[in-house]
Amino acid sequence: MHRRQFLQHSAAVAALPALAPLAAWTPGAGPLLQSARTPRQVTGDRLNGWLARFDRIGRTAGGINRVAYSEADLAGRAFTLELYTQSGLTARVDAAGNIIARVPGTDPSLPPILMGSHVDSVTDGGNFDGPVGSFAAIEVARTLAEQRRRLAHPLEVVVWQNEEGGTIGSKITVGLLTDADLDKVARSGKTVREGIGLIGGDVARLREARRTRGDIACYFELHIEQGGLLEKANRQIGVVEGIVGLRWFEVTITGFANHAGATPMDQRQDAMLAAAKFTVAVNEAIRGEPGRQVATVGRVNVTPNTTNVIPGQVVLTVDLRDLDQGTIDRFTQRFEQLGREIGAATQTTFRFAQVVNSTPAISDPRLLQAIETSASSLGLTHQRMPSGAGHDAQEVAHIAPMAMIFVPSVGGISHSPKEFSRAADITNGANVLLNAVVTADAALR
């Protein structure tokens, strides 16, 4: 972030109580405070205190609004940079706009272990989706330094930019963002291209932010579950076996706008009728096969959207997800076929455009074992489960082993102002992350 912007948006955090700075520590300055077999513990009160203060940034009557590149997002990033500094981490903003801090390891030949998440939000969202994993990663790095534990691998703490708008920061890092993507408009009204410059990145130097296979030892991400499986099973930790593939379509249905009173029913080309039939057909197709696949028609824009005019055009979105790529491809073809059939029956045309396409990501078995070993050593109940939501870990999986840790969401609620995870669960998740990183450091050497 540019210095002027940082100072401008630091007002949101200036009045907050400052953290005591982390005392400097030099490798080899003293013995480890804990044996390798003793589970390590973060300072849970500190971590949850950060989250409580962060809740003030972007809070509106409708919920948290820290959408990417907005004033609240800039203030949230300023708060996060302050946490890095107070935790003894030297952060930088890379060309993509991601915030990164690196702790050197004892073996300079090894690639880094990454951990992190994001701090931007959806419109009218909650305070836990993203910040839990971002602040826990900062807390883990701080705890390791306080406990005088230096890993063999370098350790990097990353806060990805604009996760909610399509995992933009991590896509740039792995080389999956196109020039066309840069001109897409975020919920703040700014294009991705504009936003990158606003948060301190540089579109002209995006290649400098690229990582390739072999550059990263592994990636861990702690996150709230965004579902109710853990709560229902009364488990404390979710061990994410994979992240579903995500494919978003924008479907444009074109009919003919005409007078609602003067046009006979059998002479209409009603785009809204076609959209309604298609919505039902998508639901029935998904439910007609066994499996965990899901699809949602989530946004509908009608033109001219007038009481006494037959809709001439409808633009709707379809969100399709599954852990199996073949299932996603098959349902993509099925939806397009349904569009052709419904279009012929209603005298309308369907045009499909893919706007987001993320492939499923399967977690690395060694990292899953590290998470399970850590949870067990802490006496925490756990279970394996898929992630039905997309995450930055899904993009990192293109170039490096990854795994995710889930903590329960009360009521299974997320992307809502009612989103909430208990402080004890957040602390548990951070403790699992801490010990999993230490375990993976040894296992991957």
Q: What are phi and psi of 216, to 5 degrees?
A: -125, 130
Q: What are phi and psi of 198, to 5 degrees?
A: -65, -35
Hey, how many other C-beta atoms are within 10 angstroms of the C-beta on 271?
28
Handedness of CA 379, 381, 383, 386 (dihedral sign): negative
Would you give the DSSP letter of residue 21?
P
From 185, 162, 186, 189, select the one nearest 173 (Cα to Cα): 162
Rounded CA-CA distance 33/318 in Å is 52
Report pLDDT for 445. Answer: 85
Rounded CA-CA distance 5/292 in Å is 44
From 2, 159, 158, select the one nearest 66 (Cα to Cα): 159
Asked if residue 146 lies in contact with residue 41, where contact means CB atoms within 8 angstroms, the answer is no
Handedness of CA 88, 92, 98, 100 (dihedral sign): negative
* Domain residue spans of the chain: 3-243+361-443, 245-358
The answer, yes or no, to whether residue 31 has pLDDT greater than 50, is no
Distance of CA 418 to the CA centre of its chain: 18
Q: Are strands 294-303 and 313-322 parallel, antiparallel or unpaired?
A: antiparallel
Same fold, 3-243+361-443 and 245-358: no
CA angle, residues 139, 151, 405, in degrees to nearest 5: 50
Mean pLDDT of 242-265: 96
Rounded CA-CA distance 316/131 in Å is 31
Rounded CA-CA distance 188/75 in Å is 14
Asked if residue 313 lies in contact with residue 351, where contact means CB atoms within 8 angstroms, the answer is no
Q: Which CATH fold topology does 245-358 show?
A: Alpha-Beta Plaits (3.30.70)
Going by CATH, does the domain composed of 3-243+361-443 fall within 3.30.1490.480?
A: no
The predicted model scores a pTM of 0.81
Q: How confident is the model at residue 84 (pLDDT cuts 50, 70, 90)?
A: very high
Report pLDDT for 1. Answer: 47
Report pLDDT for 370. Answer: 98
- In 91-164 the beta strands, taken as DSSP E runs, fall at 91-93, 99-103, 113-118, 155-160
For 130-146, give one letter per residue: b (16+ CB within 10 A) or e: bbbbbbbbbbbbbbbbb
Q: How confident is the model at residue 389 (pLDDT cuts 50, 70, 90)?
A: confident
**Residues 398-437 pLDDT 10s:** 999 999 999 999 999 999 999 999 999 999 999 999 999 9
Q: What percent of the chain has a predicted confidence (pLDDT) above 70? A: 92
SS3 111: coil
Report pLDDT for 357. Answer: 86
Polymer length of the chain: 445
